Structure 1
Amino acid sequence: MKKAAPAPTIDAVAIGRNEGARLIACLESLNGAVRRVIYVDSGSSDGSVEAARAAGATVVSLDLSVPFTAARARNAGLAALSRDPPTYVQFIDGDCTLRDGWMARATQFLHDNLRAAVVCGRRRERHPEASVYNTLIDAEWNTPLGAAKSCGGDALMRYQAIAAVRGFREDLIAGEEPELCLRLRARGWTIWRIDAEMTWHDAEITRFGQWWKRTERAGHAFAEGAARFSTPQDPHWDREVQRIWIWGLGIPIVALVGSLFHPAALALMLLYPVQVMRLSGRMGWQAALFNTLGKFPEAVGAIRFYSRQLGKGEKRLIEYK
């Protein structure tokens, strides 16, 4: 008689810092959905470590003397799982909660698709109505269904595949998930987005300065990703960087320098409202406005990356909370 295959094991790695009640909700949502939870804390001062232990999670506290990155935290969680590795690992940010039914859908997908290393679903903002920034982020999470190039911070991954590529690249302060997926796809693995509710996310962005910092971080990620990992065979964020240079730097510089010779050069700035009108037909006027405006903080982030490269300065997180 043929012996039945063992049931797959599922563990979770949650990461966070000073998430308060959101972390408690995150850990509660994992209760009963996974075998064990590893919570990796990045220097919280709000009682998160104690709350996580009370919720039954195994806590890993990162060394405060080394700069924090989400990639480093996720790798610490993977290391804690290595002695008794699971079949699948659910990564989740501490400001997110797992949706009912996600785990069954996701594990079945990975079971049925043996070359799939990563599966993600719909991440939604819990309070999209709280601010225009939350509304924009909720739309940002709505990525196309099917085979994908990358995933976000919440995803179910095949432990075997992640371990084979040695996890996340810890020196990245942002964009670590797309870079991981780049290496996985190079090994023949696939990444998928399925039509299933995955997590609630609580961005809590209510101020313009928070949106600016978050967008600046994206610009840093785009510039670093393109500079370090893009190849002719598999371009990585080349187009995003080109748009940053054109809209975030090129047009304003040409208009300003040109105006020193003739004021008419300032008319180039009219390209921005034209761009907003052009994009609004596809994404709505609010998204078009912030997409266009966002090229300026993205340019700041890109410049920050290149200046660090030249000066060999220390990388630190660009935080918006």
Structure 2
Amino acid sequence: MATGIGIVVIGRNEGPRLERCLTSLAGAADKVVYVDSGSTDDSVQMAQRLGVEVLELNLAIPFTAARARNEGFVCLQRLLPLMRYVQFVDGDCEVAAGWLPKAQAFLDAQPKVAVVCGRRRERFPQRSVYNLLCDLEWDTPIGEAKACGGDALMRADAFAAASGFRPDLIAGEEPELCVRLRAAGWKVWRLDDEMTLHDAAMTRFGQWWQRSLRAGHAFAEGAFLHGAESEQHWLRESRRAWIWGLCIPLTIVIVSALLGWSGLLLLLIYPLQVVRLARRGERSTRENWLQAFFLVLGKFPEMVGQVKFLLNKYGAGKSALIEYK
């Protein structure tokens, strides 16, 4: 039965994760396009064996996930002219059974909603603290939302009218698109339904640091593009990164230089902030403390990401992907 749904899956060297992803989509939509960004494993061949349309990106043009999704959408438009909805999925995610019919029914009943997403869960939160942090991050409030993540069902006409994702963004392209969609009068919604299982595969501190650095870069670019508008997109997140990641440490250094070792007592502001955030948590004691600790620690790589954006924007730097896998 025709659903009017097309699916764009993006990935590179995802291996078994991609196979799980594509298998979970079998028979769920009218057409699935897998956009590959230079895999050196058998991702392309495996997708073809599963009967999926494969689009291999021209890597002579700088790659971003935003560009990959856009090109996948254009391919779907050609293959599926009557497409009404497009589901974007990252290749390291498995789509939950029943998600697409529920999401489609919601959009059918809510003509003012352009984007609907559901619950994204981490597949192996017990394997590392970093996977657990991702799982906690995915647990966001349901109802009307400001943004979605990389997995979401969108109205094809709304996506096309907004000219899709900004292809030059190396991170944070989904919230940026949602800012423009909401400015055009559309709504974004999150349902309390299982949508995807994500496999972050983060087992090392360095991976977490890179991911946090990328978030800081996204905050900076988002604030640059839309921070001056009424909702001040990611302006607060950017300011927090500068305050906690640079301003407070510099203040401590200056005070210590003037007053001696007693100035280092100001470092207590960091554990006090951890305590404050942990006490506000609504999960288990362990999860609250872990999340609070890494939220505070994360301000340092986020600040580095902010600096990286400024160097790329105003200096001799060049935007490049910030990858953690």
Return closer, same or farther for 1:8/1:21 CA change in 2, 3 Å cut-off: closer
Output the CA distance in 1 between the equivalents of 2:219 and 2:315: 19
User: Equivalent residue of 2:277, what SS?
Assistant: helix
Task: Measure how far apart 1:47 and its partner are.
Answer: 1.2
The one of 54, 58, 63 equivalent to 1:59 is 54
Output the CA distance in 1 between the equivalents of 2:228 and 2:108: 32
**Aligned-residue CA RMSD (Å):** 1.2
Name the counterpart of 2:270. 272
Please state if 1:153 is matched with 2:157. no
Cα contact 1:222–1:240 (8 A) shared by 2: yes
Name the counterpart of 1:287. 291
Name the counterpart of 1:218. 215
Paired residue type of 1:200:
L
Cα contact 2:2–2:30 (8 A) shared by 1: no
Measured against aligned partners, the alpha-carbon deviations of 1:199-226 in whole angstroms (never above 9, x if no partner) come to 0000010000000000000000001110
Output the CA distance in 2 between the equivalents of 1:114 and 1:312: 46
Paired residue type of 2:64:
T
Output the CA distance in 2 between the equivalents of 1:282 and 1:260: 35
Name the counterpart of 1:307. 311
Task: Measure how far apart 1:282 and its partner are.
Answer: 2.0
Measured against aligned partners, the alpha-carbon deviations of 1:8-61 in whole angstroms (never above 9, x if no partner) come to 411100000000011011000000111111100011000111111111111111
Task: Measure how far apart 1:257 and its partner are.
Answer: 2.1
Output the CA distance in 2 between the equivalents of 1:142 and 1:65: 37
Output the CA distance in 1 between the equivalents of 2:54 and 2:316: 33
Name the counterpart of 1:3. none
Task: Measure how far apart 1:265 and its partner are.
Answer: 2.2
Task: Measure how far apart 1:259 and its partner are.
Answer: 1.5
Output the CA distance in 2 between the equivalents of 1:64 and 1:77: 15
Output the CA distance in 1 between the equivalents of 2:9 and 2:317: 29
Paired residue type of 1:98:
V
Name the counterpart of 1:12. 7
Output the CA distance in 1 between the equivalents of 2:86 and 2:308: 33
Unaligned runs of 5+ residues in structure 2 are 282-287
User: Equivalent residue of 2:290, what SS?
Assistant: helix
Cα contact 2:6–2:32 (8 A) shared by 1: yes
Paired residue type of 1:70:
A
Output the CA distance in 2 between the equivalents of 1:67 and 1:312: 17
Name the counterpart of 2:38. 43
Please state if 1:234 is matched with 2:231. yes
Cα contact 1:26–1:98 (8 A) shared by 2: yes
TM-score, length of structure 2 as denominator length: 0.95
Detail structure 1 runs of 4+ shifted over 3 Å in the superposition: none
Name the counterpart of 2:72. 77
The one of 134, 137, 162 equivalent to 1:140 is 137
User: Equivalent residue of 1:319, what SS?
Assistant: coil
Cα contact 1:175–1:221 (8 A) shared by 2: yes
Output the CA distance in 1 between the equivalents of 2:120 and 2:15: 20
Return closer, same or farther for 1:312/1:185 CA change in 2, 3 Å cut-off: farther
Unaligned runs of 5+ residues in structure 1 are 1-5
The one of 5, 18, 24 equivalent to 2:19 is 24
Name the counterpart of 1:243. 240
Paired residue type of 1:247:
W
Cα contact 1:16–1:41 (8 A) shared by 2: yes
The one of 143, 146, 164 equivalent to 1:167 is 164
Cα contact 2:87–2:152 (8 A) shared by 1: yes
User: Equivalent residue of 1:246, what SS?
Assistant: helix
Output the CA distance in 1 between the equivalents of 2:205 and 2:219: 21
Output the CA distance in 2 between the equivalents of 1:202 and 1:281: 29
TM-score, length of structure 1 as denominator length: 0.96
Cα contact 1:67–1:315 (8 A) shared by 2: no
Percent of aligned pairs with the same residue? 58
Output the CA distance in 2 between the equivalents of 1:7 and 1:202: 30
